[in-house]
Amino acid sequence: MTKKASAPASSPSESQEFDPISFSQQMGEILERLQPLFAHYIQKQGNEDILMRSFSPIEFQTMVMDYWGNVLQRPQKLIDINLEYAQNMYLLWQESMRKVLGEDVADIAPADKGDRRFRDPAWQESFAFDFLRQSYLLTSKWLQKAVRDADGLPQKERDKLDFYTRLFVDALAPTNFAMTNPEVLRETMSSGGQNLLRGLENLVEDLERGDGGLEISKTKYEAFKVGKNLATTPGYVVYENDLMQLIQYTPSTPDVYKVPLLILPPWINKYYILDLRPDNSFVKWAVDQGYTVFVISWVNPDKKLASKSFEDYMTEGLIDALDQIETQTGEKKTNVIGYCIGGTLLATALAYMTAHKQDKRIASATFLTTLIDFHRAGDLSIFVDDDYLKMIDEKMDRTGYLEGSDLRQTFSLLRANDLIWSFVINNYMLGKEPFPFDLLYWNDDSTNMPAEMHRFYLRNMYRDNKLKRKGGIKFGSTSIDVSTIKVPSYFISTKEDHIAPWTSTYEGMMMLGGQKRFVLAASGHVAGVINPPAAKKYHYWTNEEIDDREHPDQWLQKAHQHDGSWWVDWEKWVRHTSGKMTLARNPKKGKLKPIEPAPGRYVLKKAE
């Protein structure tokens, strides 16, 4: 890495006089380093980045023209929206004048719950910043409402236009500009502009870390190391093949339930999301409850594994793991948890095993934020059209896999305010270092997707929704029909999930047979799942009655809210399929010879 320019001496909160000569000298040194990096960045983005290429100005212009064509055919709806916007802006001006006179006034345009952009007190206390905040919120909601109400457009086109509109209004938030962000202005004045120099220094480091691509630092990466302070639950790798390592964890209780527990994590990310630190590790918690826990640790694939298919993940992953667990424990049944795409694989495998009369090997199935019906698969689905798939294919044909960074950037766009703009403000405008945060370290520990598997997944699930159709997917001569699944199933979804919307996961659950339990947790795709009971955070909803004639919202209206973690509810449920207690199983004394201590080699492999 290039040697740093002279670092400003002041701390972020230290007040100092502005020294124009020193400032100019430091700025010149940083810009000298930035010049070749920016050139490399522009070249790299133009040639390689899928997200930049997937946004076609021509396509966007066509969508806008279609939108206006639709509006001109039905102008009254837009006229009404514009009148409402004008009335609200006039009302905002009136209320702002009252505020200038010292009166207490209510917000005309309050921020949405969970919107953390306007937390600084100045956004409410200052007349100018208060007016700027509310006028921005009114305008952004007006734009989005105008797009969403264009019901004459095809749904897919409206969703895509809505997504791009949301990106646009998020990018133009006044918080994202130094001159309209009160916190940045205060820091600039108190530090004599040193925050801007530190911010440029951070920008240089992120460009260097990304080898010409902008890799925004989201946490203090040196604060974490897998196997040292992440993924530390004791255990051993007891089996491995080309695709996965099977980890068995050391028991922490003298007795355990007879039926073992297998966790099938997503391979879009690494398994240790379920084994972060001891105080938020689902794996450790399950071990402490008396379960013999096994976890699949997927390999981070390179070009040699380009031909690995979705079927391979089923046979060499889940089914092979069940074989090894039976050898190791002597038990013919296993409780299985599938997370995200791991849950989709679990549903597919259960249907496959049912067709071969092998489904009794799974005592129960738990689905964490899992899509089975991809009809309404969230914002991610708007990218998956024929043009996008063609670009993905072109890139994977060259490398043999989809790079983990492409997926990470896509997921960041789905939550741009939290995963992009908040760090732009903190790192580049305030000149601060990001905080150590285990979830964000894991989020940036990317994994690649084998070309063959990813093609199958995007086409058959996201684009064509074939898992919903009986026999829509076949492996050899075996037709996949998820309605044949009869094992007890537990679905946990999260209310603010943008990747697997809870209403869609609920509809997917209805496709399965057998006894079902659906639980809805607060928060999002990751934070809502990784919620240990000891933290006493969030809440969850339960409703014992599941009626396939009702909409998911009707289920929620009748549901009961419980404080705390869904983990406790799940453990009570899975206990019924876990058998009696038996002596704890030491992974070093089973029939499988331990290969190496957990977390194993596969999880340490970085994405290429």
Residues with Cβ within 8 Å of 26's Cβ and at least 6 positions away in sequence, in order, are 5, 6, 8, 197
Distances in Å between the alpha carbon of 363 and those of 332, 358, 370? 9, 11, 19
The whole-angstrom separation of Cα 412 and Cα 218 is 11
Give all strands (DSSP E) within 274-359, no chain letters. Answer: 293-298, 334-339
CB 343 within 8 Å of CB 267: no
Q: Distance from first CA to last CA of the chain, Å, rounded? A: 18
CB 313 within 8 Å of CB 333: no
Per annotation, catalytic residue among 263, 340, 368, 499: 340
CB 452 within 8 Å of CB 325: no
Strands 255-257 and 581-583, sheet pairing: antiparallel
The whole-angstrom separation of Cα 210 and Cα 213 is 5
Pure H helices in 356-437: 386-399, 404-414, 416, 422-423
The whole-angstrom separation of Cα 89 and Cα 96 is 10
Encoding tokens for residue 83? Answer: 């009148």
The whole-angstrom separation of Cα 544 and Cα 567 is 17
The whole-angstrom separation of Cα 13 and Cα 190 is 7
Q: Is 340 a catalytic residue?
A: yes
CB 583 within 8 Å of CB 320: no
The whole-angstrom separation of Cα 88 and Cα 90 is 5
CA angle 317, 319, 322 (to 5 degrees): 105
Question: Which positions are annotated as active-site residues?
Answer: 340
